[in-house]
Amino acid sequence: MKRTQWYASLLLAFTSQIALAQELTLEQLIDKALTNNLSVQSAKLDETKTEAQIAEVKAGARPSVNVTGDYKRYLKIPGQVVPTSAFGGPEGQYQVLAFGLPYNLSTSVQASQALYNPSVLIGLKAAKTSRELSALQTRQTKEDVAYNVAATYYNLQTTAQQMAFLRRNIVSSDRLIQITDLQRQNQLAKGVDVDRLRLSKTASETQIESLQATYNQLLNMLKFLTGTPQTETLAVRTVIDETVPAASLNAPTINRTDLLLLDRQKALNNLELQNIKAGFLPTVSAYGVANSSVYAIGGDNSYIRNVPGYWLGLQLNWNVFDGLGRKAKVAQKKLDAQKLDTQLQQTRESISMDIENARNKLLVEQRNLTTNRAQVDLAEKIYTQTQLQFKEGTVSISEVIQTEDELRQAQNNYLNTLVTFRTAELDWKKASGNLIVNP
């Protein structure tokens, strides 16, 4: 029984390790980033805040109810000066009379409803536009995050592949060192030949250490972009897909977020202009008031009386002249509209340039990738032949080291071209606005 439990525990631990070590693909990393990235979460909070602001605007179209209360305790009731003739006294004489009771309590309830207020209607339209604008800003944030994740991922893959190439080269160097050392012992090679091979191997090992540091930095950047704590492990699939898709020359469907943002900003600016112009018009609201006033006095002759009052009314507010302030605001909004038109034109020109540059870059890097892949194959073939010739004693160690350097250079050129090609693909998708399928 204990043995069975031990096997079960071991299997569970092994399964957990496999789950932890699951390597994430680029698509999985992007999905993780679009959910956990702090910039994306901040943009989503801005969307939620926009909804709260929209609710505030809608409140202006609903009735409002205000309750007020006032209590007074007069230590001395204020008086009024009145002519004594009003009460049958002589002309030219005056008397101070105090009206009221020492205790006063007044309560009022007022309900009001806007009947005509153009600003409220325009504000409701602007609220919808603000919602669309906030969603587009979130989409733009997601696109930026996805681009950065992809670019970092390709660089990390390239770095990992460079280290793999160098490790394979080191294995070959070890074999050559053994062969050359045997030749030296048989006086068929010099000691300096062995030293040169060891020096070349050490250079490769140093380069691997440098690349490992770069790899760790890129991995930490992926953790940051995907919202993964730096203390946690992030396993990434580093096998490079060397499939070269055919680059399309067809004009892509333009779905750029920056264009859509400018369009919504223009619509919002137009609504703000309408709102300013609405300030030239009057507003009308209806209201109803229920009032209760209680008057009282204490002592032997105590007395209390409630005096209610109810009334309805219409209120007109019209700011006929504001010192030409609205006129100046209208002029500013019209200039903002012209500026947005200019920005739209500039953005369209920039998009055309980005698409053309991305297309050309993609085609060039596609050809370079095919050429550099063939150069790597050729360099590997030459290096293998040179190793065989060295074993046969027909070439010197200098030629072996030279062909090894040429192989390493061909491998690096291929990897650099590959990451440049993948980046060109990213730029092509970004230029056309198709970086994220479902933003």
Q: Rounded CA gap, 342 and 349, in Å?
A: 11
Q: Distance between terminal CA atoms of the chain?
A: 53
CA distances from 185 to 19, 190, 191, 194 (A): 52, 9, 9, 11
Q: Rounded CA gap, 402 and 409, in Å?
A: 11
Write out the two tokens for 148.
């950065």
Decide if 172 contacts 387 (C-beta within 8 A): yes
Write out the two tokens for 369.
């990738």
Decide if 82 contacts 93 (C-beta within 8 A): no
Angle at 432 between CA 427 and CA 433, to 5 degrees: 95
Spatial strand order in the sheet of 303-317: 64-73, 103-116, 283-297, 303-317
Q: Rounded CA gap, 257 and 436, in Å?
A: 11
Q: Which of 153, 176, 166 is nearest to 33 (CA)?
A: 153
Decide if 199 contacts 404 (C-beta within 8 A): no
Residue 390 has, within 13 A of its CA and on its CB side, a CA count of 30
Question: Mind listing the pLDDT tens digit of every residue in the chain (439 residues)?
Answer: 444 444 444 344 444 444 445 889 999 999 999 999 999 999 999 999 999 989 988 898 899 999 999 999 998 888 888 888 877 788 888 888 888 889 999 999 999 999 999 998 899 899 999 999 999 999 999 999 999 999 999 999 989 988 888 888 788 778 777 877 777 777 666 777 777 878 878 888 899 999 999 999 999 999 999 999 999 999 999 887 766 655 555 666 778 899 999 999 999 999 999 999 998 999 999 999 999 999 998 888 889 999 999 999 999 999 988 888 899 999 999 999 999 999 999 999 999 898 889 888 888 988 888 898 899 899 989 988 888 887 777 877 778 778 877 888 888 888 788 888 888 888 888 888 888 866 5
Q: Rounded CA gap, 132 and 271, in Å?
A: 14
Decide if 417 contacts 369 (C-beta within 8 A): yes
Decide if 439 contacts 143 (C-beta within 8 A): yes
Say what the pTM is.
0.78
